[in-house]
Amino acid sequence: MSKKIVFCGGGNMAEGVIRSLLQREIAKAGDITVSELNPQRCDYLKETYGVEALVDASAAMKTADMIVIAVLPKIVPVVLQSLVGVVKEDAVVLSIAAGVKIASIEEVLGADRKVIRVMPNTLGQSGNGHSAVCLNANINEEDKAYALEFLGALGQTIILPESMFGEFTAFSCSGPMWLYQMADALVDAGVYAGFSRSDAKKMVIKNMLGVAMILDETGDEPKERVNEMCSPGGVTIEGYKSLVDEGFASAVMTSVDKAVKKANAI
């Protein structure tokens, strides 16, 4: 589906989405326009991705099928005001601005507008990681299908009510932190066991990749695989017992819970 897309904002968020869209051939460079106030940034986006990038993209906004709001939350009100009376009635307004609710967009543009709120995942560059999506009542099946295809450039999507966005931000968007931390701890453990840091890192990365692939492909519960590895009186059960004694699972759950509470307090 060929759609005309205008990005309001040409910063790192927008660039990451544009790069993924082009790499996965979900959109063509000729169908993308970026509205960016920094002329040097406009030149960079043009030269790097072949897209149109303008300080004033109001003309492109008038014909756009999708408007992507990709600016800092504090700038969103200014961007929304610039869209009033400009965008087509059937254009989809998709916001990736953190914390900006659909109601606040509808308040400025009108309750009859097609609005989608997205919380992207920081792992989008890898093609993995879920983005949370909430659609307002004006989004039809065709709009939804294209939006999901569009967001497929960033990885996987999960449709959630806005009331769950705080939990999603803490658990999924912040989720890679816990895995990075675990990887870092395992590398240190490998060094302590006698391996070079380089070799320990290589082994940890491949172990993490292998575990992720097996769980994804088989659908097995992680606990099932742990049980399989823990032979009676063996090496693995000894290590597992230490994790239980040290309160590993409890520490992770408490950490996630604190992040969720923080996200919902913002």
Known binding-site residues for NADP(+) equal 70-73
What local confidence, expressed as pLDDT, does residue 98 receive? 86
Give the pLDDT score at 47: 97
The β-bridge partners of 34 are 7, 53
CA angle 153, 155, 161 (to 5 degrees): 105
Structure-block tokens of residue 266: 């913002």
Query: What are the binding residues?
Result: 70-73
Q: What are the boundaries of each domain within the chain?
A: 5-160, 168-264
pLDDT for 266 equals 78
Q: Is the pTM of this model over 0.85?
A: yes
pLDDT of amino acid 33: 98
Tokens matching residue 117:
């709120």
pLDDT at position 35, please? 97
Domain covering 168-264 in this structure, CATH number: 1.10.3730.10
* 166-187 core/surface letters (b: 16 or more CB in 10 A; e: else): bbbbbbbbbbbeeeeeebeebb
Distance CA(126)–CA(207), nearest Å, equals: 18
8 A C-beta contact, residue 95 and residue 118: yes
What local confidence, expressed as pLDDT, does residue 1 receive? 54
Cβ of 31: how many Cβ atoms within 10 Å? 17
pLDDT score of 101: 95
3-state secondary structure of 55: coil
Question: How many CB atoms are located within 10 Å of the residue 138 CB?
Answer: 17
Which of the listed CATH numbers 3.40.50.720, 3.20.20.70, 3.90.1150.10, 3.30.10.20 matches domain 5-160? Answer: 3.40.50.720
Rounded to an integer, what is the distance from CA 72 to the centroid of its chain? 15
36, 54 contact by CB (below 8 A): yes
SS3 35: strand
User: Is the C-alpha dihedral spanning 241, 243, 246, 247 positive or negative?
Assistant: negative
| Residues in a beta bridge with 158 | 132
According to DSSP, residue 121 is labeled -
Residues of the chain with pLDDT under 50: none
Helices (H), the chain: 12-23, 39-49, 58-63, 76-83, 102-109, 141-151, 165-168, 175-193, 197-218, 222-229, 235-245, 248-265
